[in-house]
Amino acid sequence: MNQVITLAKRPVGKPSMSDFSLTTEDKPSPADGEILLHAAYVSVDPYMRGRMSDAESYIHPFEVNKPIEGLAVAEVVESKNSDFEAGDFVVGFLAWKEYQVSQGKGLRKVDADIAPLSAYLGILGMTGLTAYLGLSEIGKPQEGETLVVSGAAGAVGSVAGQIGKIQGCRVVGIAGSDEKVAKLTSEFGFDAAINYNTTDDMATAIAENCPDGVDVYFDNVAGEISDGVHQNMNRFGRIINCGAISGYNDTSVPTGPRVEMMLIKKSLLMQGFIVGNYEDKFPKASKQLAEWLGEEKLKFSETVVEGFENIPKAFLDLFEGKNRGKMVVKI
């Protein structure tokens, strides 16, 4: 039998285990032109919370009682498609199923000799591309500028900060525990890091750690943490709105200081970033990321949970900040 995880119902507020269902179906067989895939690593990502609601968004919602889909690395275990052989590993958007068939459309082969398979879900996958393209397309950091990253110990944030360092910026990270903060400076080379859970006044903490103000803000969290960063933005600053995890589980639109006056007074730019808008830039960006990884200029961290049945729990743990770097599930 083949294990499958479906969306049992649409979460209201914070998702819980009861929103997911672990079911079984017959193991599928590939028809001509198809391949049979066995999941190797499954990615869980905060943006997936959005697809569990039926609100209008840039990507269509998951359907209730249907398998959830996301990025995964899978092994080709049987091939009736001349583009693939048994033993190939591929990455792409796949259903949360142990086994599934595919015509191969949208799948890309990956090479375990270049990097561990899980890296293709992280630093060499969407999260690495998000960090790289968010900075290069919106943030445009210049040597000597100051970059602040929120959610800095997360999959995207830890890469964004390291790219900022490669590009000659002062880089300050914001994360939610002393352990994460220590890792940012000791392991990922951030110049400074702030634990928002032990900081009463984020605006002052940012000012202390960014003596020349903030030129680029790579924002993964929004909310009150970001209010403190906004107050320290320099004229002509750029805010990359990449995520807003602080509000993903809110059932109404959160309120806060209106930004318009600040944007005008400081000639600031805020822009929503979705990596999928920049597909034409993926090949060049992937090449650069692999190069930096090979040169050991970029490190990546991941939290690996084991077992297909633990995918929902791993997803829920993202909202508790339990991951360090990219959260993946090894099947």
Structure tokens at 241: 């709105």
Output 93 or 236, the one with its CB closest to a copy of itself. Answer: 236
Output 190 or 273, the one with its CB closest to a copy of itself. Answer: 273
Q: Helices 155-166 & 126-134, crossing angle to 10 degrees?
A: 50
Output 260 or 295, the one with its CB closest to a copy of itself. Answer: 260
Q: How far is CA 59 from the centre of its chain?
A: 15
Residue 265 burial (CB count, 10 A): 10
Whether 220 and 150 have beta carbons less than 8 Å apart is answered as yes
Of 72, 109, 104, nearest to 90 (Cα)?
109
Q: CA–CA separation, 49 vs 11, rounded Å?
A: 9
| 3-state SS assignment for residue 15 | coil
Q: CA–CA separation, 175 vs 224, rounded Å?
A: 13
Whether 241 and 139 have beta carbons less than 8 Å apart is answered as no
CB of 241 to a copy of itself, least distance (A): 5
Determine how β-strand 89-95 pairs with β-strand 69-79: antiparallel
Q: Which residues bind a copy of itself (CB under 8 A)?
A: 50, 56-58, 219, 222-223, 226, 235-236, 241-244, 247, 253-274, 277
Of 245, 229, 68, nearest to 155 (Cα)?
245
Output 109 or 266, the one with its CB closest to a copy of itself. Answer: 266
Residue 200 burial (CB count, 10 A): 7
CB of 123 to a copy of itself, least distance (A): 22
CB of 114 to a copy of itself, least distance (A): 31
Output 77 or 274, the one with its CB closest to a copy of itself. Answer: 274
CB of 221 to a copy of itself, least distance (A): 9
| 3-state SS assignment for residue 232 | coil
Whether 198 and 176 have beta carbons less than 8 Å apart is answered as no
CB of 57 to a copy of itself, least distance (A): 5
Output 8 or 262, the one with its CB closest to a copy of itself. Answer: 262
Whether 331 and 38 have beta carbons less than 8 Å apart is answered as yes
CB of 149 to a copy of itself, least distance (A): 15
CB of 261 to a copy of itself, least distance (A): 5
Output 76 or 275, the one with its CB closest to a copy of itself. Answer: 275
Residue 252 burial (CB count, 10 A): 6
Whether 53 and 61 have beta carbons less than 8 Å apart is answered as yes
Output 235 or 284, the one with its CB closest to a copy of itself. Answer: 235
Q: HSE, CB side, 13 Å, CA atoms: give it for residue 79.
A: 14
CB of 255 to a copy of itself, least distance (A): 5
